[in-house]
Amino acid sequence: MMTISHKSMEEIRIKARELLEKKDADGVLALRRGEEAVVAPHVFREPGEIGRLVTEPKWPLAKTAMRILQSSPRDFRLAVVVRGCDDRALVELAKRNQVTEENIRFIGLACTEEQAGRCLCERPYPRTIHGGKPQPGVHFLQDERVSSLLEGDPAERMARWAAILRRCIKCYGCRNACPICVCVPCKLEDDVWVEKGSIPAEMLVFHLIRAFHLSDACVACGACQEACPVSIPVMALQFAMRQALKDRYGYEPGLDGARKSPVLKNFLEEPETGKDYPAWITHGGTGHE
Amino acid sequence: MNAEKNKQGLQGGEKKGKAGAPSPKILVFACRWCGGIGAGRAGWKRMDLPVSFRVIPVECAALVEPDAIFRALASGIDGVAVLGCHIGGCRYNEANHAALKRLELVKVLLDTAGIGGRRLLLAFGTAHEDHQFAEVIRNFHEFIGKEPSLKPWLGAGEDIFLRREE
């Protein structure tokens, strides 16, 4: 197993070095193993530095890449070492006009099967792969950690969630870690929606508003629950909505930059599969009866 | 019998709550072109209606933010109804299509959290369908009345820091 990740790391290094040597990118954002074996994100600018580039551990870089691009000159081209989730997150950020895809060079890294299982990732590989081999994904219901949360009748489930969410210390870590959460101002900081100074956060207005704002954008990277200091499985709130979008509209966030969320469109442009609507809908316009 | 119920309601919800079972609270967001007019006509025609609902007129069902639904449920409302125009009869470029899609996703989230997607009612009718409005609200009132109260689970809850000291 060690050799696999080593091999994929070498492949990534070769691609990164090539990009810098050909001057295809002005910098490569990746993890660097520094002194005392400290691993941290770093923008490599010289091909000579690439020897210190590492790919482990998993570190979502999408938001970091966004911040770097936003504070750089417009023509700055940044290459980013992306896993599947980073790749999808950057596509979603591009849809929201936070980054321009032309400025990004994707260096794709496929996760190992073990990592996919740990993250509950359905698609543990980016669109283009430069390092590693694509592994099959894991469906969220296959995993006991999630299925045990979602089973039972509503009252049981509500009691379970209420007990879990009562642990919340309202640190906003889930929001800050999320690669898609970029709104300024954020509703979770607004007294109208979330009462200030009350801990734990209210179940509905804090957690469900946060979850719903990401309903059609969540790329299931798991950054929110990895950031949670009291280990609330916040991503489990997203799975059912992701599945609903997939079943109803065949939509998965982050796969296609040109396709906007189906909930923003009407039934003519984004029809719901398996549902019949009266024939007169297809005529379009405001067909008043 | 229904007139009697209405009378009780007019005397004030407080009194009724103490005497009998507490009445569920229903918040209705009604679009001003269809649902709102239908609701107005139902009242004007003196149809049999439960006293448990209050209507907030909105310009379009698509303007009902999902966040407002969560906020309403968190502030002690037991059920939320969103009424819009017929699918295909929207005044604002099929905005109610998007509203329907979005609110159906809200139902999925409410189900995931165990609150129950059926606490959110979506209905589409025209301005002259006051009878439909009355029926929908009566059924919804009956359904919500059987559902357990959300109160024990909601609100900021007890302060965990205080609890730890005990």
Residues of A in contact with B102 (CB under 8 A): 263
Candidates A54, A100, A57, A60; CA nearest to A76 is A100
Q: How many domains does chain A have?
A: 2
Give the H/E segment covering residue B102. Answer: helix B95-112
Report pLDDT for B1: 43
Residue A186 lies inside a defined structural domain of this protein:
yes
pLDDT of residue B166: 38
Are A134 and A231 found together in one domain? no
Sheet holding B53-58, edge to edge: B53-58, B26-31, B79-84, B120-124
Of A66-80, A197-211, B5-19, B143-157, the range with the highest mean pLDDT is: A66-80
Q: Does A288 lie at the interface with B, CB-CB under 8 angstroms?
A: yes
- Stronger pLDDT, B127 or A247, i.e. the higher one: A247
Chain B contacts in chain A segment 50-109 (CB below 8 A): none
Indicate whether B8 belongs to any domain. no
pLDDT digits (tens, 9 = 90+) for A216-226: 999 988 899 88
Out of A83, A110, A138, a domain closes at: A138
Residue B163 pLDDT > 50, yes or no?
no
For chain B, the C-alpha Rg in angstroms (whole number) is: 17
The Cα–Cα gap between B102 and A41 comes to: 37
Do A29 and A44 belong to one domain? yes
The total number of structural domains in chain B stands at 1
Instruction: For strands B120-124 and B79-84, give the pairing.
Output: parallel
The CATH number of whichever domain residue B89 belongs to comes to: 3.40.50.960
pLDDT at A108 over 80: yes
ipTM: 0.85
Residue A89 confidence (pLDDT): 94
Whether A66 maps to a domain, the answer reads yes
Residue A277 lies in a domain: no
Expressed as residue numbers, the domain containing B76 is 23-153
In this structure, the answer to whether residues A37 and A87 fall within a common structural domain is: yes
Assigned domain for A261 exists? no
* A128 domain residue, yes or no: yes
CA distances for A192 relative to A162, A180, A187, A195, B72, angstroms: 22, 23, 8, 7, 12
Q: Given CB atoms, is A141 within the 8 Å cutoff of chain B?
A: no
Whether residue A125 lies inside any domain: the answer is yes
Alpha carbon dihedral A22, A27, A32, A35, in 10-degree steps, equals 100
pLDDT at residue number A276 = 60
pLDDT in tens, B43-82: 899 988 888 889 999 999 999 999 999 988 888 888 999 9
Whether the CB of B164 is below 8 Å from some CB of chain A: the reply is no
Higher pLDDT, A254 or B21: A254
Same domain, A15 and A80: yes
Q: How far apart are CA A65 and CA A104, in angstroms?
A: 9
Average pLDDT for B97-125: 88
What pLDDT is recorded for position B21?
A: 56
Percentage of chain A with pLDDT > 90? Answer: 27
Query: Which residues in chain A have their CB less than 8 angstroms from residue B101's CB?
Result: 262-263, 267, 270, 272
Residue among B70, B104, B154 whose CB faces A209 most closely: B70
Task: Say if A258 falls within a structural domain.
Answer: no
Mean pLDDT score of chain B, rounded to an integer? Answer: 79
Mark whether A102 and A69 lie in a shared domain.
Answer: yes
Does residue B18 carry a pLDDT above 70?
Answer: no
The residue-averaged pLDDT of B133-139 equals 89
Strand-strand pairing, A27-33 and A53-54:
antiparallel
> Are A149 and A124 in the same domain?
no
Q: Can you tell me the distance from the alpha carbon of A58 to that of A62, in angstroms, rounded to the nearest whole number?
A: 12
> Are A39 and A121 in the same domain?
yes
Q: Is residue B75 part of a domain?
A: yes
Does residue B158 register a pLDDT over 70? no
Best A156, A191, A208 member to test B by mutation, with max B CBs in 10 Å, is A208
Q: What is the pLDDT of residues A21-73, one digit of tens each?
A: 888 889 999 999 888 889 999 999 988 888 888 888 888 899 999 999 999 99
Same domain, A153 and A215: yes
| Residue A266 confidence (pLDDT) | 80
**Residue B26 reports pLDDT greater than 60:** yes
pLDDT tier, A4 (very low <50, low <70, confident <90, very high otherwise) = low
More confident residue, A206 or B2: A206
Residues A12 and A124 in one domain: yes
Work out the minimum CA distance from B22 to partner chain A, whole angstroms. Answer: 20
Q: Does A268 contact B at CB distance below 8 Å?
A: yes
Rounded Cα distance between A286 and A289, Å, is 9
Q: Give the model confidence (pLDDT) of A82-104 as tens digits.
A: 999 999 999 999 999 999 989 99
Same domain assignment for residues A14 and A122 = yes
pTM of the model: 0.84
- Which site among A263, A269, A280, A281 would you substitute to test the B interface, given the most B Cβ atoms closer than 10 Å to its Cβ? A263
Q: Among the listed ranges A77-86, A115-124, A266-275, which one has the minimum average pLDDT value?
A: A266-275
- In a domain? residue A278: no
| pLDDT at residue number B7 | 44
Both structure tokens of B139: 């059924």
A138, A168, A199 - which closes a domain? A138
Q: Say what the pLDDT of residue A87 is.
A: 93
Under an 8 A CB cutoff, do A199 and B116 touch?
no
Per-residue confidence (pLDDT) for residue B74, from 0 to 100? 85
Amino acid, single-letter form, for residue A26: D
pLDDT of residue A275: 66
Which structural domain range is residue A66 located in? 6-138
- Cβ contacts below 8 Å, chain A against chain B, sum to 136
Predicted confidence at residue A34, as pLDDT, reads 85
Q: Which chain A residues touch B78 with a CB distance below 8 Å?
A: none
Is the pLDDT confidence value at B101 over 50? yes
What pLDDT shows up at residue A271?
79
If asked whether residues A102 and A177 sit together in one domain, one would say no
DSSP per residue, B63-89: G--HHHHHHHHHTT-SEEEEEEPPTT-
**Interval A145-155 mean pLDDT:** 81
At residue B57, the pLDDT reads 92
| Range A130-154 average pLDDT | 83
The residue in chain A having the minimum alpha-carbon distance to the alpha carbon of residue B107 is: A241
**A150 and A109 assigned to the same domain:** no
Domain end residue (candidates: A122, A138, A154): A138
